[in-house]
């Protein structure tokens, strides 16, 4: 019996990944850690320090210290905000996301947020764009987790906050590492490929279904839930 849908945020609810990819590539390269926007999409879902350490391991042969990671992540946040300011002020909603959330609510299902992001403005932004859908009690953010995606920890924490088991949940994710985390938590996962990566990467991580957009998920919701043999 399905009772909740767990939503990733960046690339699922907000079209924020282009800005994140730009900021990651620019700042990491400034620090002598060559990174491309595509690298950023491939690493999407990790915590800030997790992403930084992948690259310090590769180029410096060690993890980032906490101080290095804090400095670099602060700079990345500044560059991300500059990018957004130059592109309309705030990351826009992903088309179709509001329609998906409304369908999920209309079916009496809980909406749970599971994001690696630790942005302070996150709560008010969610409430402004998707009013009434997310309660602080049912949110897992980058501040809550120790390991972050692709570890199953954030999704296991989401199940715990909702008081449900994996077979009562469905995940909506856009990132390969996010799909890996959700599948490792034992949860059926729908992937929406809202970025530039090959959709096969999402299938390879174990997504039960790969769709091209949130609009496709909204339009096909009833059929999709039925075809996945999920009782509502």
Residues engaged in binding Mg ion (CB under 5 A):
8, 10-11, 174-175
Q: How far is CA 137 from CA 83, 96, 132, in A?
A: 31, 25, 13
For the bound state, the minimum distance from the C-beta of residue 224 to Mg ion, rounded and expressed in Å, comes to 19
For the bound state, the minimum distance from the C-beta of residue 162 to Mg ion, rounded and expressed in Å, comes to 19
For the bound state, the minimum distance from the C-beta of residue 108 to Mg ion, rounded and expressed in Å, comes to 26
| Nearest residue (CB) to Mg ion, 8 versus 153 | 8
Q: How many angstroms separate the most distant Cα atoms in the chain?
A: 51
Q: CB atoms < 10 A from the CB of 89, how many?
A: 9
Q: Where are the beta strands (DSSP E) in the chain?
A: 4-7, 110-114, 139-140, 169-173, 188-192, 209-211
| Nearest residue (CB) to Mg ion, 169 versus 171 | 171
| Nearest residue (CB) to Mg ion, 71 versus 208 | 208
| Nearest residue (CB) to Mg ion, 31 versus 195 | 195
| Nearest residue (CB) to Mg ion, 51 versus 174 | 174
For the bound state, the minimum distance from the C-beta of residue 119 to Mg ion, rounded and expressed in Å, comes to 13
Please check whether residue 159 is in contact with residue 169, taking contact to mean a CB–CB distance below 8 angstroms: yes
Alpha-carbon distance of 152 to 181, in angstroms, equals 4
For the bound state, the minimum distance from the C-beta of residue 56 to Mg ion, rounded and expressed in Å, comes to 23
For the bound state, the minimum distance from the C-beta of residue 75 to Mg ion, rounded and expressed in Å, comes to 22
| Nearest residue (CB) to Mg ion, 31 versus 46 | 46
Beta bridge partners of 93: 14
Going 156 to 161 to 165 to 169, the CA torsion angle's sign is: negative
For the bound state, the minimum distance from the C-beta of residue 136 to Mg ion, rounded and expressed in Å, comes to 20
Beta bridge partners of 202: none
Q: What are the structure tokens assigned to 112, written together?
A: 């749970």
With 0-12 / 13-18 / 19 or more C-beta atoms within 10 angstroms meaning exposed / middle / buried, residue 168 is middle
| Nearest residue (CB) to Mg ion, 99 versus 197 | 197
What are the two backbone dihedrals, phi and then psi, of residue 130, each rounded to the nearest 5 degrees?
-130, 65
Residue nearest to Mg ion (CB): 11
């Amino acid at each position: 019996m399905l009772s909740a849908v767990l939503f990733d945020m960046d690339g699922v609810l907000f079209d924020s990944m282009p800005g994140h990819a730009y900021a990651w590539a620019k700042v990491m390269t400034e620090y002598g850690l060559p990174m491309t926007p595509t690298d950023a999409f491939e690493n999407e879902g990790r915590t800030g320090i997790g992403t930084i350490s992948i690259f310090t391991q590769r180029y410096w042969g060690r993890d980032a210290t906490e101080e290095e990671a804090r400095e670099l992540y602060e700079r990345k946040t500044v560059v991300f905000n500059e990018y957004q300011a130059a592109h309309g002020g705030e990351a826009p909603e992903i088309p179709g996301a509001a329609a998906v959330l409304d369908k999920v609510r209309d079916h009496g299902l809980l909406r749970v947020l599971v994001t690696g992001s630790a942005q302070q403005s996150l709560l008010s932004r969610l409430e402004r764009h998707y009013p009434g859908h997310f309660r602080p009690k049912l949110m897992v953010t980058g501040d809550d987790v120790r390991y972050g995606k692709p570890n199953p920890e954030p999704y296991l924490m989401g199940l715990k906050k909702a008081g449900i088991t994996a077979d009562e949940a469905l995940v909506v994710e856009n990132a390969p590492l996010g799909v890996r985390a959700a599948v490792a938590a034992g949860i059926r996962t729908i992937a929406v490929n809202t970025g530039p990566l090959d959709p096969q990467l999402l299938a390879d991580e174990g997504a039960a279904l790969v769709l091209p957009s949130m609009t496709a998920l909204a339009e096909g919701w009833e059929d999709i839930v039925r075809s996945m043999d999920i009782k509502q």
